[in-house]
Amino acid sequence: MARRDMAAETMGPRTATEAPSNEPREPARYDHAEVEPRWQRAWEEGELFRAVRSAGAAREKRYVLDMFPYPSGAGLHVGHPEGYTATDIMSRYFRMRGIDVLHVMGWDAFGLPAEQHAIETGTHPADTTARNIATFKRQLKMLGFSYDWSREIATTDPRYVRWTQWIFLQLFKKGLAYQDEVSVNWCPALGTVLANEEVVDGKSERGSHPVYRTPLRQWMLRITAYADRLADDLRLVDWPEGTVAMQRAWIGRSEGALITFEVKGWGQGAVSVFTTRPDTLMGVTYVVLAPEHPLTSWITSTEGSTSEARREAVRAYVAAAASKSDRERLTAAAKEKTGVDTGLVAVHPITGAEVPIWVADYVLGGYGTGAVMAVPGHDERDFAFARAYGLPIVEVVSPDGALHDGLAAAYVDPGVAVRSGEFDGLRTEECKRAVVDRLTALGRGRREVNYKLRDWVFSRQRYWGEPIPIYFPVEMAAPDGDPRKGDAHTIRYDQPIAVDDASLPLELPPLADFRPGEDPAGPLARAVDWRFFQKDGKWYARETNTMPQWAGSCWYYLRFLDPQNDAEPFSEAAYDAWMPVDLYVGGAEHGVLHLLYARFWHKVLYDLGHVKHPEPFVKLVHQGMILGEDNEKMSKSRGNVINPDDIVRAYGADVLRLYEMFMGPLEAVKPWQSGQIQGVVRFRDRLFATCTRPLSESMDDATSRQLHRTIKKVTGDIEAMAFNTAISAMMVFLNHLSSLPSPPREAVHRLILLVSPFAPHLAEELWRLTGHERSLSYEPWPTYDEALCVDDVLEIPVQVNGKVRGRVTLAKAASEDEARAAALALESVAALSAGKQVKKFIYVAGKIVNIVVG
């Protein structure tokens, strides 16, 4: 028998549900400190939320997923449970609708914060991570979330690491994982590569240590191979428009042309540029290189420039740029453009004119080709740079075809080609085609699609991450040498070898000293007995880079399907039973990177035949941030963090759940306001008091109609995830019930069921106290009669000579004679019609009465 059937037929929380009588009784008060832990134990002991489903099952299913948390040492603050409460409401609601539900939780447990904390405290990150997970799990259980804890996973579990590494090897074998030298922000003092956001004024945000741009061997994932599909398949999902727009912008697909400029005196070829405006080619007045462009190395060599002074100027400029992050360069360039003339010239691909080549840090080496053709008349950045250095500005696109001299600003809109020789008079789109056709014929350009998206830098020079399952041959200088002893050797990074599947997982060595150092190879390079090994008499070296935290979160939703499977990451039957994810809830801050990376991995697995849907997450919802009472983001440094333990201790988990859902729309940003919690406490206590009073077996028509309208409203609001208005509707109905001497038993029972997804402990206790012996978790969701949701009696306006003079209450099916009698009986209407003839009486049933007198 399926778990749900067992729960509905026989299962209920043990002992806690065995009421001695079917009659309601009124305890002195609701004791959340006693009730909530009791029901949590009952749910766990009864395994009520264990997800059981077979592939091909006839019942509907819902896979409801939270973006799983990173278990920090600080534990949860009250902002974290907002999204978890929303998914729990949906999960409990779906179960009551007779739908199979998979609702799970796990831990994104690798990463930098745990390693930094471990370094500062001298404890191993495995130990701190285990303690943090225990704290998070206790807090989540304290809040009554209906997770299937039998499926709990942690990305640090070797059984999980095995399959993360296995997926990496599928990427490697498919040519999607490769090595490259990438310019990175290297901080020798911290011994690590820093993200752009971690570099301020050329120094590390943490500790203010010098940071240098330097090429470093990195593992890369070829996400650009999936750029088109990642953009196009967004049409398949139900996601917030803003998130879809962010992903499209991050991918940044643009159509244009790749154009080559020969460099006079450089024997190694030409400089290529990508532009979306090939129609402006005739307005190029200079070419700009990024400081990282390969040509700059030649320029700074002895034969590469016109003079030693120019070489030195370029060297100094490139060195200064190397101390800045990409973010800093773009921010600074927005204020003031800087650059240096190399003394070299490029040859215009159509006219043959010579244009100077500059180096400027507003061009980034990691974007496009690392070079741009500067058209200052029609690009704002180029215009500002040309103004700063007195470079020519030429108009080649006119809004109306007329010539204009001395442009005051760059004209960036479409128009008509001018000063463009054979292309004069062409409109922008026509000119684009004509210019590219000409370049193609000359062999100096072609049509090209470009992306802002760059391949994913996958390496981390850290300890606390999944080891990359690759090793390399080691060539010894001496036949009997031993690399572990420091004997001379060469590691052949150009010959990567995949670890055998049977040898997975490749686990981290138990390092006592896991601090980063000045060696970019990372701390694992110091674990020489782990790094170097012999096989068939030859020496090999393991990869010492580890995977980023993103790796484990790319596919965790798949492991939840079958977490105990040691033969494969998940079985086909488990996939068929639950995938795809029907509802995914998490913060908007993950709207690009995590979601883009997860979609990329999923599409690779799709191409390999391991998954059957092109997209993993059907519907996505972002919960809004809960701010501190000072309207600022919660943080320990601001001292505005609210600990959920304190709220639960004082008021109970149900009050916290209800309050967070009642604060406002789920997606909205809203401040925590402790003073408003009391309103929710009063609702809980009034509900408890009303439902434990003596109940009536009959229900009047007004109560029945209000009950059915409430069921309809709450049902629709839950489906729309409009939880605040659902709670408001229940509050209104409770006010009505509490005003009755003896509330109807049927209305009370249905209200308890409506409340249960929001306040499950309270609802379970009331269900028990109103005579039920098993959990309500799988009780059928209340239904409503549409006819009872429509009022039979309506209040409609009465007009006299076109002006509203009063209102009458009429039955929906009232006749014209009944409407006339009621309207003329109104005192205000009688005063205006006294002694006058009623020339016309207009009655639109349920809408309006209009009396024309004269």
Report pLDDT digits (tens) over 145-195: 999 999 999 999 999 999 999 999 999 999 999 999 887 778 877 777 776
Structural contact between residues 645 and 33, judged by C-beta atoms closer than 8 angstroms: no
Place of tokens 């999944």: 466
**pLDDT > 70 fraction of the chain, expressed in percent and rounded:** 95
With a cut of 90, say whether residue 646 has pLDDT above it. yes
Give whole-number Cα distances, 102 to 511, 581, 585, in Å: 38, 9, 14
Pairing assessment for the beta strands 177-187 and 212-221 based on DSSP bridges: antiparallel
Q: Going edge to edge, which strands form the sheet with 177-187?
A: 192-194, 177-187, 212-221, 456-457
**Average pLDDT of every residue of the chain:** 90
With a cut of 90, say whether residue 54 has pLDDT above it. no
CA dihedral 754, 756, 757, 761 (to 10 degrees): 160
> What is the pLDDT, as a whole number, of residue 402?
93
With a cut of 60, say whether residue 352 has pLDDT above it. yes
Taking residue 160's Cβ as centre, other Cβ atoms within 10 Å add up to: 23
With a cut of 50, say whether residue 583 has pLDDT above it. yes
Task: Report the alpha-carbon distance of residue 423 to residue 432 in Å, rounded.
Answer: 10
Nearest C-alpha neighbor of 134 from the set 75, 87, 83: 75
* Segment 235-285, tens digit of pLDDT: 999 999 999 999 999 999 999 999 999 998 787 779 999 999 999 999 999
With a cut of 50, say whether residue 16 has pLDDT above it. no
Average pLDDT over residues 1-24: 38
Q: Is the bond into 797 cis (omega within 30 degrees of 0)?
A: no
> What is the pLDDT, as a whole number, of residue 6?
35
Amino acid (one-letter) located at 656: L
With a cut of 90, say whether residue 628 has pLDDT above it. no
Band the pLDDT of 17: cuts 50, 70, 90. very low
- Choose the weakest-confidence range: 209-213, 329-333, 447-451: 329-333
Task: Report the alpha-carbon distance of residue 443 to residue 420 in Å, rounded.
Answer: 20
Taking residue 245's Cβ as centre, other Cβ atoms within 10 Å add up to: 13
Amino acid (one-letter) located at 392: P
> What is the pLDDT, as a whole number, of residue 27?
56
Nearest C-alpha neighbor of 2 from the set 45, 61, 69: 61
Structural contact between residues 627 and 670, judged by C-beta atoms closer than 8 angstroms: yes
With a cut of 50, say whether residue 20 has pLDDT above it. no
How far, rounded to the nearest angstrom, does the alpha carbon of residue 17 sit from its chain's CA centroid?
40
Average pLDDT over residues 17-29: 48
Helix intervals (H) in 154-226: 158-173
Residues with Cβ within 8 Å of residue 678, at least 6 apart in sequence: none
> What is the pLDDT, as a whole number, of residue 333?
65
Nearest C-alpha neighbor of 779 from the set 61, 93, 51, 53: 93
* Segment 383-423, tens digit of pLDDT: 999 999 999 999 999 999 999 988 999 999 999 999 999 99
What residues are paired with 850 via a beta bridge?
Answer: 799, 842
Pairing assessment for the beta strands 617-622 and 581-586 based on DSSP bridges: parallel
Structural contact between residues 622 and 588, judged by C-beta atoms closer than 8 angstroms: yes
Helix intervals (H) in 694-803: 701-719, 723-738, 745-755, 760-769
- Choose the weakest-confidence range: 194-203, 507-516, 736-745, 777-786: 194-203
With a cut of 80, say whether residue 25 has pLDDT above it. no
Band the pLDDT of 719: cuts 50, 70, 90. very high
Look at the pTM and tell me if it is higher than 0.95. no
Structural contact between residues 65 and 21, judged by C-beta atoms closer than 8 angstroms: no
Task: Report the alpha-carbon distance of residue 335 to residue 642 in Å, rounded.
Answer: 40
- Choose the weakest-confidence range: 383-392, 446-455, 634-643: 634-643
Average pLDDT over residues 467-481: 96
425: its two tokens: 């008079």
Task: Report the alpha-carbon distance of residue 757 to residue 748 in Å, rounded.
Answer: 16
Residues with Cβ within 8 Å of residue 605, at least 6 apart in sequence: 167, 170, 555, 558, 611
Band the pLDDT of 22: cuts 50, 70, 90. very low
* Segment 825-846, tens digit of pLDDT: 898 898 888 888 899 999 998 8
Report the SS3 class of residue 589: helix
Q: Pick the residue with more confidence: 198 or 291?
A: 291
Average pLDDT over residues 106-117: 87
> What is the pLDDT, as a whole number, of residue 305?
56
Place of tokens 């509330």: 743
Average pLDDT over residues 319-338: 76
Strands of 159-252, DSSP E: 177-187, 192-194, 199-200, 203-204, 212-221
Report the SS3 class of residue 644: helix
Residues with Cβ within 8 Å of residue 518, at least 6 apart in sequence: 188, 191
Nearest C-alpha neighbor of 473 from the set 484, 460, 489: 489
How far, rounded to the nearest angstrom, does the alpha carbon of residue 77 sit from its chain's CA centroid?
19
How far, rounded to the nearest angstrom, does the alpha carbon of residue 107 sit from its chain's CA centroid?
16
Task: Report the alpha-carbon distance of residue 809 to residue 374 in Å, rounded.
Answer: 75
Spell out a b/e string for 400-424, using b for 16 or more CB atoms within 10 Å of the CB, else e.
eeeeeeeeeebbeeebbbbebeebe
Sign, CA torsion 215/219/221/225:
positive
